[in-house]
Every structure is written in C-alpha cells, then in structure tokens.
Amino acid sequence: MFGLGGQELLLILFVVLLFFGPQKLPELMRGLGKGMKEFKKAQADFEDEIKTAVETPTPKNKPVETATAKNEQEGSAGKTS
C-alpha cells in the first residue's frame, strides 16, 4: 500500500489520533471509507463504459451532405426554371 510498512502506518495513525482526538477518529475513518468506496465505484463504472464502447461496433453511416452542397443543388435547380 503505497510502499508504506506497518511502522509507518502506525506512526501516521498516531499523529492523526493526536491531531484530531479519539472522538473524531471514527468519523474521519468512516468518511475516508465512504470516499474510497465511491472512488472505486466510479472507477469501475468508467472501465465498464470504456469496455462497452470498444466492444460495440459502430454503425456504418451514409455520407453526410454539407450545407453548402445542399445550397448549390438548390441554387442550380432554381436557375434552370
């Protein structure tokens, strides 16, 4: 986990405990857990979207006429009348 050993994690936990106190620590850990859960869920949803986009074949569309091509066709049709 981020290259941290057991001693480093205990030191960090001790500093957090001193800084926030024992009453706030469970609330902070609960919030951290919820945040990590939401992040993992968002990551999984993103990966699923990418997989479905790659696996879904793209439909073959017919060529799209540009607005200038339509205007030229209408202009030439109006001149012959």
User: Which residue type does 24 have?
Assistant: K
* Residue with the larger pLDDT of the pair 1 and 47: 47
Q: Is 0.85 topped by the overall pTM? A: no
Contacting residues for 20 by C-beta, under 8 A, at least 6 apart: 28
Residue 76 phi/psi, 5-degree rounding, is -70, -30
Please report, for the chain, the start and end positions of each structural domain, with discontinuous segments joined by +. Answer: 22-54
C-alpha triplet 49, 44, 1: angle, nearest 5°: 145
8 Å CB contact between 20 and 28: yes
Predicted confidence (pLDDT) per residue in 23-79, tens digit: 888 888 899 899 999 999 999 999 999 998 888 776 666 666 666 666 666 666 555
